[in-house]
Amino acid sequence: MDEFPIIQQLGDDALLVTFARTISWDVGIRVRSTARRIRDTRLPSVTDVVPAYTTLAVYFDSRAMSFATVSSEVATLIGDADAASDDRSALIEIPVRYDGPDLAEVAEWTGLTQDELIEKHCSRTYRAYMTGFAPGFTYLGDLDEALVLPRRTSPRVRVPAGSVAIAGAQTAVYPLVTPGGWHLIGTTSMAMFDPARDPPARVRAGDSVRFVRVGG
Amino acid sequence: MSDVITVIAAPPFATIQDLGRVGFRDSGVPVSGLADRESGLLLNAILGNDPNAAMIEWAVGGGTLRFDCAAKIAFGGADAELGIGGMPVRHLMPISVVAGDELKIVRIVRGRFVLIAVRGGIDVPLVLGSRSTLLSAGIGGFQGRRLRAGDELRIGDSMVAPCDATEHTERTDRAHVNGSVMVMRGPQASLFDDAAWATFLDSEFVVSRASDRSGYRLEGATISHSGSAALPSEPACVGAIQIPDGGTPIVIMHDGPTVGGYPKIAVIRKSCLSRFAQMAPGDPVRFAVGSSDCDTT
């Protein structure tokens, strides 16, 4: 079958490196190690390096540097997973008031009490797999298996900013008012997207996150 | 009076845009910026502006702007009827206005976005390095939102050269696509078999009403793919043609998500993107795999 990693064109001004077909934590570390090496190399004309679950994209200006040139540079930077450098990422503690509109329903579906559910959500250190969907929206995993549920059958048209949510094996905070199909279990007052900061996303791929229960 | 343009009547959708916001995709921030950047660059060249000077991207309806000072302006992009005091305004020509002049945007004849530029550019604060509006995050442009009646837009000083009064012959036919929109194969091109590719390349699609600066939906044929549609989400790009489960293509546009999980059959060539972006709901579109030249004959 395919020989990984593979490098493909993503339009005229970007390339996509695919490391695997299926999501795993080890693949994620390899994606982020490579993204870090590409960023550190500071190739001229490269504007963005974006790591995702099993892929990363490098965006460049094709008038300044051709796909062939960027691609051969990137190929030399694809290396092994460097778990040590991943561990240097930030640990962010997010304060959560567990007052989400779906909390009772989720407790019922999972067969847990609300306190048990909250305890399970707070007791782990999550890793950030990918940032996207909306500015500052970062997919965190993996949830305790007892909390894994399919998405809501009818997505909400307006999820309030700051909603802490779960779906599948993942958890996330909605940074902005957007539509959304995840189960809302709490709210945070921490700004997850702040255009006055650089980077504007509070949590990005590779970071570690803990949720801390606050009053109520 | 200060150097201000006052919005007297706004259309349903007008925003301030420049060439966009790069460097923040890893925070989930789309590039935004002028959908028809070719026309924007041409207008800034005509007015002697910095190429990245911000302007008004005006869509969907008519309206009126009032100039509260003398200024040089030009419009381009979509083919539209504009007038000052009943006199028609020509496409892609610098025009001098005096304090009190009102520019009426009567109607958009063909295309989607009328670009209205002023010498010096529109002066709004830089947010993450750009003046472009991103409505979903409420950032950039004029207070992070669409223009409304009463808004006062300050004129900036982003000029680098004198005005260029030479006739620009490309004129309105630049703004729409005749012939095919050129694409290159997308990362998941091989998930689509020969029959699916034939459907994609032989069909005439129509730009759906459900299209905005985030994405254009295309109606007409549906395209099926082999293999699982559940791809781990991966980075996307402007012009990527995604095929969701229903088989109805969605083209990611400038305010669209930075990542996506639908297979991308193809990506629109950069040279065709401005012209594609000018397609309005109901406009027909065909795709061809090909070189970087956007064929407009």
**Does B190 reach chain A within 8 Å, measured CB to CB?**
no
Spell out which residues of chain B touch residue A12, defining contact as CB-CB under 8 Å.
184, 267, 269-271, 292
**Residue of chain A nearest B252, judged by CA positions:** A11
Per-residue model confidence (pLDDT) at position A216: 56
Q: What percent of chain A has pLDDT over 70?
A: 95
Structure token pair of residue B84: 């000052």
DSSP letter (8 states) at residue B212? B
Q: Are B32 and B20 in contact (CB under 8 A)?
A: yes
CB-based contact A120:A147 (threshold 8 Å): yes
Determine the residue type at A189: S
Range 56-85 of A in CB contact (< 8 A) with B: 56-57, 59, 62
**Residue B46 neighbours by CB distance under 10 Å:** 21
Question: Rg of the Cα trace of chain B?
Answer: 20
Q: Give pLDDT, residue B213.
A: 96
Judged by CB atoms closer than 8 Å, whether chains meet at A136 and B27 is answered as yes
C-alpha dist (Å) from residue A97 to A3, A9, B266: 46, 44, 44
Summary mean pLDDT of chain B = 92
Contact B28 A176 (CB under 8 A): no
pLDDT in tens, B188-235: 999 999 999 999 999 999 999 999 999 999 999 999 887 665 678 999
SS3 assignment for chain A: CCCCCEEEECCCCEEEEECCCCCCHHHHHHHHHHHHHHHHHCCCCEEEEEECCCEEEEEECCCCCCHHHHHHHHHHHCCCCCHHHHHCCCEEEEEEECCCCCHHHHHHHHCCCHHHHHHHHHCCCEEEEEECCCCCCEEEECCCHHHCECCCCCCEEEECCCEEEEEECEEEECCCCEEECCEEEEECCCCCECCCCCCCECCCCCCEEEEEECCC
B234 and A48 within 8 Å at the Cβ level: the answer is no
To the nearest whole Å, the CA of A208 is away from the closest chain B CA by 15
Question: Phi and psi for A164 in degrees, rounded to 5?
Answer: -95, 130
pLDDT: is A29 or A59 the higher one? A59
Q: Please check the confidence at residue B40 and state whether its pLDDT lies above 90.
A: yes
Q: What's the whole-number mean pLDDT along residues B182-188?
A: 96
pLDDT of residue A154: 85
Residues of chain B with Cβ-Cβ distance to A135 below 8 Å are: 24, 27-30, 134, 136-137
Q: Is B237 on the interface with A (CB under 8 A)?
A: yes
- Position A12 pLDDT exceeds 50: yes
Which among B27, B139, B187 has CB closest to A10?
B187
Peptide bond into A199 cis (omega under 30): yes
Mean pLDDT (whole number) for A94-103:
97
**What is the rounded distance in angstroms from the CA atom of residue B158 to the CA atom of residue A177?**
34
Decide if pLDDT at A85 tops 90.
no
Q: Which residues of B touch A134 (CB under 8 A)?
A: 28, 136-137, 257
- Write the CB contacts of B221 (distance below 8 Å, at least 6 apart in sequence): B199, B200, B203, B205
CB A211 within 8 A of CB A164: yes
ipTM of the complex, rounded to two decimals = 0.92
Residues B154-178: what's their mean pLDDT?
A: 70
A200:B24 CB<8 A: yes
Distance CA A96, CA A164 (A): 8
Domain ranges of chain B: 4-171, 181-289
In a mutagenesis test of the A interface, which of B25, B27, B214 is the best target, namely the one with the most A β-carbons within 10 Å?
B27
Rg, C-alpha atoms of chain A:
19
Instruction: Provide the edge-to-edge strand list for the sheet that holds B215-219.
Output: B284-285, B205-207, B215-219, B250-252, B240-242, B264-268, B181-185, B287-289
**Are A52 and A17 in contact, with CB atoms under 8 Å apart?**
no
d(CA A188, CA A175): 10
In chain A, residues with a C-beta closer than 8 Å to the C-beta of B238 are 11
Domains, chain A, with CATH or none: 6-87 (3.30.1360.40), 91-213 (2.40.100.10)
Q: Is A187 on the interface with B (CB under 8 A)?
A: no
Which tokens belong to B202?
């032989």
Q: Which tens digits make up the pLDDT trace of A34-58?
A: 999 999 999 989 999 999 999 999 9
| Whole-number average pLDDT of chain A | 92
B28 CB contacts (<8 Å, ≥6 apart)? A131, A132, A133, A134, A135, A136, A137, A138, A193, A201, B257, B258, B259
What 3-state class would DSSP assign to B284?
strand
| More confident call, A175 vs B293 | A175
Distance CA A8, CA A10 (A): 6
Residue B271 pLDDT: 93
Range with lowest mean pLDDT among A13-22, B163-172, B237-246: B163-172
**Mean pLDDT (whole number) for B159-174:** 67
Please name the residues in contact with B179: beta carbons below 8 A apart, sequence gap of 6 or more: B286, B295, B296, B297
Q: What is the separation, in whole angstroms, between the first and last Cα of chain A?
A: 53
Question: Which chain A residues are within 8 Å of B235, Cβ to Cβ?
Answer: 10, 14, 16, 50, 52, 55-57, 132
Tell me: domain B181-289, CATH 2.40.100.10, correct?
yes
Q: Test A52 with B138 for CB contact under 8 angstroms.
A: no
Mean pLDDT, range A63-71, rounded to an integer? 95
Measure CB to CB from residue A133 to each of B138, B237, B257 and give the nearest one: B257
Q: Using CB atoms, which residue from B137, B232, B270 is nearest to A13?
A: B270
Question: What pLDDT, on the 0 to 100 scale, is given for residue B183?
Answer: 97
Does B177 have pLDDT greater than 80?
A: no
Residue B72: CB atoms within 10 Å: 20
Mean pLDDT over residues B132-154, rounded? 97
Question: Does any CB of chain A come closer than 8 Å to the CB of residue B145?
Answer: no
- Looking at residue A89, what is its pLDDT? 73
A47, A59, A131: residue with CB nearest B28: A131
Q: What does B139-185 look like in DSSP terms, one character per residue?
A: BSTTTTS---TT-EEEB---B-S----S--TTGGGGGS--SPEEEEE
Asked if residues B272 and B295 have their Cβ atoms less than 8 Å apart, the reply is: no
- Are A11 and B270 an interchain contact pair (Cβ–Cβ within 8 Å)? yes
pLDDT given at position A52: 95
What local confidence, expressed as pLDDT, does residue A206 receive? 87
CB A149 within 8 A of CB A143: no
Q: How confident is the model at residue B172, as a pLDDT?
A: 44
Residues of B in contact with A199 (CB under 8 A): 24, 26-27
Q: Which of A188-202, B44-58, B126-140, B177-191 is the least confident region?
A: B177-191
Nearest chain A Cα to B182, which residue? Answer: A11
The answer to whether residues B77 and B280 touch, using CB atoms and an 8 Å cutoff, is no
The arithmetic mean of pLDDT across residues B173-187, rounded, is 76
Q: Are B172 and B36 in contact (CB under 8 A)?
A: no
Tell me which residues of chain A, numbers 10 to 49, contact chain B at a CB-CB cutoff of 8 Å.
10-14, 16, 18, 21-23, 47-49
Q: Across the interface, do B235 and A55 touch by the CB < 8 Å criterion? A: yes
Alpha-carbon distances of B103 from B53, B119, B148, B150, rounded to whole Å: 20, 15, 15, 15
The span from the CA of A192 to the CA of A162, in Å, is 8
Sequence-distant (6+) residues with CB within 8 A of A155 are A179, A180, A181
CB B132 within 8 A of CB B126: no
* Residues in chain A closer than 8 A to B23 (CB atoms): 47-48
> What token pair was written down for B169?
């012959």
